[in-house]
A = this chain, B = another copy of it.
């Protein structure tokens, strides 16, 4: 569809990361802006990436015993006011339907920002005995939290996500499930997206409105900012109490079940862009890439070139590799730039001389290097290279994450770490006062406190009190 265009220009990743991000999103057809404030259109290339993402995450969610369901997008406004913390957290960004045609609704309907309330309303009907537990469900849905501006994938009025919701007979079981789903996100991101996370508990201030506590996975972006990439909440009996969810236990006592919820969204596409991208554009992890191998015919007018490219495509496809042969009449150099911008992991260049020598030139997008490869057993070479690219992207990201994290002992060090585009790993007493002061002074918010910690005695970076834990602080999206 795109012909004879000039090479797409993108901003310099080192000097203008924000513009680089926007350029990459728009120029690779990942997304476009929608007409209403804060909305985006997910375009062909972005949606195919999302489909790959979704299929794999869905497989893992089902493997843990969850079934998919679908709840209504409209929730009576009164549902939100039942759980006090919940409504306080969500009220300012609730989109509310007040009118149908010319008729004013008796009770306004909220366009779901999350579905705990409407799901709890059903749970109260569905659950009555310990035999009904656990309930393990998940839904893929759109949710709405109004935004004044749009940062595609990162901050949009509407986004797509999955939200899992479970009920358990005991606190222990629910807490174990909260951790299980946190680990599922960590493994999924590592295995499928080549993205490493920091993970741990959110502070009281940053936790989900209505949860007892929230675990989070936080990604370290190329610019040293944090992106909250997924959360897993232990909700305790908070919602069960206000929505009257009860069950008769084995001991015949009527109890409230213990609840979890957890979600990951299209925001992860933002993480893929900002963790792996480089000065040439996207670098897509092979498992999620819509196109894993692009074949560019060289001197395609010469006899046999196109035929050989198609032959190689077919060989690779029988191995389940996603291949595109670029037969457009664009210039070869333009094609190289365009497919590098789009982050295709492997490019194979095949021309008359290559064919004569039984070779192709293989370009790896993770290293931006070329080398000749034999066309014999090309499917094995390509499959191994894709695996190698995945591992290398993960190692690169892990190294960058380590480089961009500074252990700090005082506010001076913390400030310097944040100012120079890093995470600060800092002892913190856990008080809201110190958290607010750290934010005020450095611009960094508390991201998460890992469960596993050293035994050494630490002193809060702000107030100096002795404390047990260190916490990641960073600026965030």
Residues of A within 8 A of B (CB): 1, 3, 32, 34-36, 39-44, 47-48, 50-51, 67-76, 79, 91-102, 108-109, 111, 118, 121-122, 125-126, 129, 131-132, 137, 141-142, 144, 146, 157-158, 160
State how many copies of this chain the complex holds.
Answer: 2
Min CB distance, A377 to chain B, in Å?
Answer: 30
Known: A101-B93, A109-B36. A1 touches B131 (CB 8 A): yes
A-B contact pairs, 21 of them (CB 8 A): A3-B131, A34-B72, A35-B75, A36-B72, A41-B70, A41-B71, A41-B122, A44-B67, A70-B160, A72-B157, A73-B111, A73-B142, A73-B158, A74-B95, A93-B101, A96-B100, A97-B98, A99-B108, A100-B146, A141-B142, A142-B142
Supplied contacts A32-B125, A36-B76, A39-B72, 8 more A-B pairs, CB within 8 Å: A35-B121, A41-B71, A44-B69, A44-B137, A91-B101, A95-B109, A98-B99, A100-B146
Tell me if B72 and A44 are in contact (CB < 8 A): no
Chain A contact residues: over half helix, strand or loop, or mixed?
Answer: mixed
**Which residue in chain B gives the minimum CB-CB distance to A55?**
B55
- For A108, what are the chain B residues with a Cβ–Cβ distance below 8 Å? 99
Tell me if B100 and A99 are in contact (CB < 8 A): no
- For A40, what are the chain B residues with a Cβ–Cβ distance below 8 Å? 72
C-alpha gap A157/B67 in the complex (Å): 24
- For A73, what are the chain B residues with a Cβ–Cβ distance below 8 Å? 73, 111, 142, 144, 158
C-alpha gap A102/B93 in the complex (Å): 9
Tell me if A158 and B35 are in contact (CB < 8 A): no
Which among A51, A69, A72, A122 has the highest number of chain B CB atoms within 10 Å? Answer: A72
